[in-house]
Amino acid sequence: MKKLLILLISIFIASHVFSQDEVTKDGWNFGALPTITFDTDLGFQYGALVNLYDYGDGSRYPNYNHSLYFEVSRFTKGSGINRFYYDSDELIKGLQTSVDISFLSDQAYDFYGFNGYDAVVNPGWIDDASSDYLTRMYYKYDRKMFRFKVDLQGELSGEKLKWAAGINLLNFKVAPVNLDKLNDGKEGADVLPNVPGLFQKYQDWGIISAEEANGGFVPTFKAGLVIDTRDNRPNPMKGVWTEAVIVAAPEFLGGESSFAKLSLTHRQYFTLIPDDLSLAYRLAYQTTIAGHVPFYYQSQVITSVMKGASSEGLGGAKSLRGIRRNRIVGDGIIYGNIEARWKFARFQFINNNFYLGLNGFTDFGKVTKKIEENSNFSVLPDNYFDNDAEALHLSYGAGLRIVMNQNFIIAIDYGIAADERDGDSGIYIGLNYLF
């Protein structure tokens, strides 16, 4: 899929104005990032994101009292992001409160099957220059998701050991790709062929049931423990951030089925050169411990707090950079990231503190518990399935960070997949460090 990414940044940097002394910020400050992207099948994306920070009287800087994040963006053919996110430890004294309200629509949501390498991906089927070409939409389906999420954290023993709790109401609407809409205005070779995709194949084979094929409502409750000794939340130079979380979805509240998942995540940060160079890593394990999980929920990655618009299954911007989005989906997964982070320049501009950072990283992941692929057929085609082929997925790459007042972070990452079964490479432009 050909993409043209044009990023218009509202912060213009005069890099010759260097200073090592930071200005203490108080009151309300904001970072804004207008964006335009283009996708051959989805059209132009346009919109903006704004992050407002309240530093109060400045005595806690770079910690903030309140953070409000707004994002509205659209593709000209219908996909889009609508999100409000609020984060504060001052709204309710003694509690870290996060609220997320989002509506995410995706007319070409990636779907490569289940259990990693056990699901064969044929690149020729989606390459319009290949003699095997079927359609660029073969590994896609249409998904719309509404999310209302509240996360709370409070002290359990001192400031470092905390309890975590939350509620997450998700509503999924799932359907095959709307080819008529995507083909509107196209002619000749640009028209997408009317070919059933993998999503329809999984329904025909009975791997995805009729009850789940159109989506559903998933209400989940969360409880866990968090150890947090980080010296700085946006980009720590030392400390750990470890959490154990259980998420449960009771069927009696309207869900399609009851289930429970366990998530264990450990993040650790080391100072190599004070203030300038650090090493960070994240190790995470997530598995189903009870019940049946609807296929459309399996890509959700569980954490104690959500930082980005999406937190979804392995592959792509938020997990394994350079690997196809959602390439690794299983009933249980393990994944990790290792990053070297270098702040190579600091300066002040328009009365704000900036620094520039470079990252080198490697990402990895694997399915540890497979989804049972019950089928109506005794034998499934070899060109779709390679049983017991699953192995470690690996990618590597580098990134750039442009950071204002230590909290507003523009992130640009380029990742390369180590195995062609996972794709080629990817570039990601967004906000914040990965973890």
Predicted local distance difference test score (pLDDT) of residue 76: 72
Predicted local distance difference test score (pLDDT) of residue 4: 35
Q: What region, left, alpha or beta, does residue 432 occupy, with left being phi > 0 and alpha being psi -120 to 50 degrees? A: left
Q: Tell me whether residue 379 is exposed, middle or buried, using C-beta atoms within 10 angstroms of its C-beta: 0 to 12, 13 to 18, 19 or more.
A: exposed
Query: 293 near 259, Cβ under 8 Å?
Result: yes
Please tell me the distance from the alpha carbon of residue 308 to that of residue 318, in angstroms, as a whole number. Answer: 8
Give the Å distances, CA to CA, from 389 to 119, 236, 332, 367, 423: 8, 37, 16, 11, 16
Q: What CA dihedral angle connects 136, 139, 143 and 148, to 10 degrees? A: -120
Predicted local distance difference test score (pLDDT) of residue 174: 97
Query: 375 near 384, Cβ under 8 Å?
Result: no
Residue 37: DSSP 8-state: E
> Which residue segments constitute the domains of the chain, with CATH numbers given?
3-431 (2.40.160.50)
Query: In sequence order, what are the residues at sequence separation of 6 or more whose Cβ sits closer than 8 angstroms to the Cβ of residue 344?
Result: 276, 356, 357, 358
Q: Which amino acid is at 15?
A: S
Please tell me the distance from the alpha carbon of residue 113 to that of residue 390, in angstroms, as a whole number. Answer: 12
Tens digit of pLDDT at every position of the chain (435 positions): 333 343 333 333 333 334 446 788 888 987 776 776 554 445 566 888 888 999 998 888 888 999 999 999 887 766 788 999 999 999 998 899 999 999 999 988 999 999 999 999 999 999 989 999 999 999 999 999 999 999 999 999 888 999 999 999 999 999 999 999 888 888 888 899 999 999 999 999 999 999 999 999 999 999 999 999 999 888 999 999 999 999 999 988 888 899 999 999 999 999 999 999 999 999 999 999 999 999 999 999 888 777 666 778 799 888 999 999 999 999 999 999 999 999 999 999 988 899 999 999 999 999 999 999 888 887 888 899 999 999 999 999 999 999 998 888 988 899 999 999 999 998 888 788 999
Query: 66 near 84, Cβ under 8 Å?
Result: no
Give the Å distances, CA to CA, from 423 to 47, 316, 320, 336, 354: 29, 11, 12, 19, 35
Query: In sequence order, what are the residues at sequence separation of 6 or more whose Cβ sits closer than 8 angstroms to the Cβ of residue 333?
Result: 285, 286, 287, 313, 314, 365, 366, 367, 368, 369
Instruction: Give me 24's structure tokens.
Output: 């203490």
- The torsion angles phi and psi of 415, rounded to 5 degrees, stand at -120, 150
Predicted local distance difference test score (pLDDT) of residue 24: 82
Give the Å distances, CA to CA, from 388 to 141, 143, 193, 385: 26, 29, 33, 9
Predicted local distance difference test score (pLDDT) of residue 13: 36
CA-closest candidate to residue 108, choices 126, 120, 124 = 126
Q: Which amino acid is at 24?
A: T
Query: Checking DSSP bridges between strand 28-39 and strand 3-7, what pairing results, if any?
Result: antiparallel
DSSP result, 217-268? EEEEEEEEEEEE--S-SSS-SSEEEEEEEEEEE-GGGT-SS-EEEEEEEEEE
CA-closest candidate to residue 432, choices 65, 51, 83, 96 = 51
Cis peptide bond upstream of 62, omega within 30:
yes
Please tell me the distance from the alpha carbon of residue 210 to that of residue 203, in angstroms, as a whole number. Answer: 7
Please tell me the distance from the alpha carbon of residue 359 to that of residue 90, in angstroms, as a whole number. Answer: 32
